Amino acid sequence: MVKPLNRQAIETLITRARTVKGKQLELADDRVAGLRIRAGERSATWLLCTRLRNGKRTRIKLGAWPGMGLSDAREAARVKHIEVVEGVDPNEEKREAKREAIRAARMQRKLSDVLDDYERMKLSQLRRGSQCRRALDGKSGVLKQFSSKDITSITRSDIVDAVRKHAEKAPMAANRNLAYVKAFMNWCVDQEIVEANPAANIKKPAKERTRDRFHSLDELMEIWDAMGELGYPFGQLYRLLIVVPMRREEVAAMPVTELDLAADGNPDNAVWTLPGHRTKSGNSLRVPLSPLAVSLIKDALAASDRPKNSPFVFSMTGDTSVSGYAKAKRRLDRIIRERRIAAAKKAGREPVDMEHWTIHDLRTTFSTLACEVLGADIAVVDRVLNHVATATTSKIMRVYNKSELFDRRKQVMHDWAAMIEREAAARAG
C-alpha cells in the first residue's frame, strides 16, 4: 500500500538521498496515479510516469521541489495526463523545442567559424584540403568578403557577384572556386547549418576548355635556355619539369628522402619514389631519373641559396617547399621577351611574342614530342605522366592492368633527356 505523500515524507526522502552517493530515491503519490518525486544528492524533481497511446512508457518532468509544491505537482500531473490521453507526447515537444534551439544557434554563426568546422571535420581528411580552404576564404578567396557575416545571410546573388569578380581575372580558377563553394554549402545543408544551398544552381562563369597548347622543339629549347637565367630554385626546378614531366607541385615539394640518386651504385639507375598521397591520381610511382635529371637535382642541392639541412630539394625557407611560381613565371616570360626583342633588333625585323603558355603545358609538350619525335608508345607516355591509362580504350584494361612499365618508361625518359641535351648543346655551339 502506497503511503500518503506529504511535506514531511518528501523532506525525509531528500535527506536520505543526500547521504547515498550516485543513487536517486523515489516516492509515489497516493492520490494521482503515476506522480512521483525523485530525489538525488543535489535536487528533487516531480515526474509523471505514464504510457503513451502507442503503449510506450515515458517519464514527463513536471518541475522541481520546493519551487513546485505537492498540490501544484498534482495539478500539473492531471493536465499532462489529459494531454497524453489526447495523443500528445510532451517530451517530444520538448525535444523538438531543443532541436529548434540548436538549429537557431547554428543558423546564427559567422562564415569564418563555420569554415573552421568544415576544415576540421572535412577538409583535413582531403589531400587538397588546404588548397580548398584558401580558395574559399584565403587572401583572394571567393568568400573572403563574407567572413564576418552570418552564414544564413549569404544569398545566391552575393555568391554570383563574388564569382563573377574572380572570373574577370581568372576564369578557369573561378570555375574551380565555384565548385568549392557548392561543396561547402552542401556540407552546411547536411549539417543543418543552412536550409538550402544558395550556390546550387549557379552556372560556371567561364566555358571549360581542354588546353592543347604545346611547344615545338625549337620553342621548348628557347624556354630551356631562358630558364638558365632564373637561378635557384626556379632555374633547376623548371628545367627539371621539362626533363621529368610530372606535375608541378609533385616536383616542387620533392623531399630529399624520396630520392635514390645512385641506385645499386649506378647513376643510370637513379629513382624517385613518388608516394600516392602526393599525386593527383592517388597512385604511387617509381620515377626513373636520367643522368640529366640527376644533374639538375644535384645542382639544386648544392646551390648556395638553398637553406642548409632543408628536407626539400627546392625551398626558400628551409621548412617549407618552394612557392612563388607566378612571380618566377613572369620573370621567365620577361627574359624570353627581352631575348626576342634583342634578336629581332639585330635581324632588323619586328619582334614576335611567344604565344601564352603555362608550366603545365610542358607535360603536353613532352607527351606530344615524345610520341612524334621519339616514336614512344602513347601508353608508356601515359604512365610516365602518371595518368590513369587514358590511352587505353578498354575499361577492363584500365582496371586490371596495373603494370608500372618501369623499364619502358625508363627508356623513354632517358631518350627524352638525351634529346634535350643534344639540342641544348647544338644551340650553344
Question: Are both 25 and 116 inside the same structural domain?
Answer: no
The torsion angle over the Cα atoms of residues 304, 305, 309 and 312, rounded to 10 degrees, is -120
Question: Are both 313 and 378 inside the same structural domain?
Answer: yes
pLDDT at 342: 95
Lowest pLDDT segment from 14-18, 186-190, 219-223, 408-412: 14-18
> Is residue 370 assigned to a domain?
yes
Task: Indicate whether 265 pLDDT > 90.
Answer: no
Lowest pLDDT segment from 29-43, 137-151, 207-221, 306-320: 207-221
> Is residue 14 assigned to a domain?
yes
**What's the whole-number mean pLDDT along residues 300-327?**
94
> Is residue 196 assigned to a domain?
no
Contact by Cβ (8 Å): 287, 254: no
Task: Indicate whether 399 pLDDT > 50.
Answer: no
Task: Indicate whether 102 pLDDT > 70.
Answer: no
> Is residue 66 assigned to a domain?
yes
Contact by Cβ (8 Å): 325, 248: yes
Question: Are both 90 and 179 inside the same structural domain?
Answer: no
Q: Which of 60, 19, 17 is nearest to 40 (CA)?
A: 17
The string of DSSP letters for 165-206 reads HHHHH-HHHHHHHHHHHHHHHHHHHHTTSSSS-TTTTPPPSS
Both ends of the chain: CA-CA distance in Å? 115
pLDDT at 354: 94
Task: Indicate whether 126 pLDDT > 90.
Answer: no
Residue pLDDT, tens place only, 365-394: 999 999 999 999 999 999 999 875 544 444
Residue 176: give the domain boundaries. Answer: 111-190
Residue that wins the pLDDT comparison between 185 and 402: 185
Which residues make beta-bridge pairs with 35?
48
Work out how many domains the chain is built from and give that number. Answer: 3
Question: Are both 353 and 232 inside the same structural domain?
Answer: yes
Task: Please report which residue ranges of 283-360 form alpha helices under DSSP H.
Answer: 291-302, 325-347
Q: What is the CATH number of the domain that holds 65?
A: 3.30.160.390
- The contacts found for 137-141 with CB under 8 angstroms, 24 or more apart, are 137/111, 137/112, 140/166, 141/177
Task: Indicate whether 117 pLDDT > 70.
Answer: yes
Question: Are both 63 and 157 inside the same structural domain?
Answer: no
Question: Are both 92 and 151 inside the same structural domain?
Answer: no
> What's the CA gap between 176 and 395, in Å, rounded?
28
> What's the CA gap between 256 and 356, in Å, rounded?
33
Residue pLDDT, tens place only, 286-296: 999 999 999 99
Total residue count of the chain as it appears in this document: 429
> What's the CA gap between 148 and 133, in Å, rounded?
16
Question: Are both 58 and 149 inside the same structural domain?
Answer: no
Question: Are both 333 and 258 inside the same structural domain?
Answer: yes
298: helix, strand or coil: helix
> Is residue 201 assigned to a domain?
no
Contact by Cβ (8 Å): 413, 400: no
Residue that wins the pLDDT comparison between 324 and 127: 324
58: helix, strand or coil: strand
| Block residue for cell numbers 563555420 | 114
Residue after which a domain boundary falls, among 45, 75, 101: 101
Residue after which a domain boundary falls, among 190, 225, 246: 190
- Count of beta carbons in the 10 Å neighbourhood of residue 46: 24
Q: Which of 155, 151, 156, 303 is nearest to 233 (CA)?
A: 303
Q: How many CA atoms lie within 13 A of 211 on its CB side?
A: 14
pTM for this predicted structure: 0.59
> Is residue 39 assigned to a domain?
yes
Question: Are both 149 and 288 inside the same structural domain?
Answer: no
Question: Are both 238 and 293 inside the same structural domain?
Answer: yes
Helix H, strand E, coil C: the string for 228-285 is CCCCCCHHHHHHHHHHCCCCHHHHHCCEHHHEECCHHHCHHHCEEEECHHHCCCCCCE
Residue after which a domain boundary falls, among 101, 126, 153: 101
Question: Are both 423 and 335 inside the same structural domain?
Answer: yes
Q: Which of 54-63, 163-172, 388-397, 414-423 has the highest mean pLDDT?
A: 414-423
The torsion angle over the Cα atoms of residues 174, 179, 184 and 186, rounded to 10 degrees, is 140
Residues 15-26: b if buried by 16+ CB within 10 A, e if exposed: eebeeeeeeebe
Q: What is the CATH number of the domain that holds 409?
A: 1.10.443.10
Question: Are both 237 and 296 inside the same structural domain?
Answer: yes
What is the identity of the amino acid at 381? V
What is the identity of the amino acid at 12? T
> Is residue 27 assigned to a domain?
yes
> Is residue 205 assigned to a domain?
no
| Block residue for cell numbers 603545365 | 360
Q: At what angle do helices 171-190 and 111-121 cross, to 10 degrees?
A: 80
Mean pLDDT for the chain overall: 88
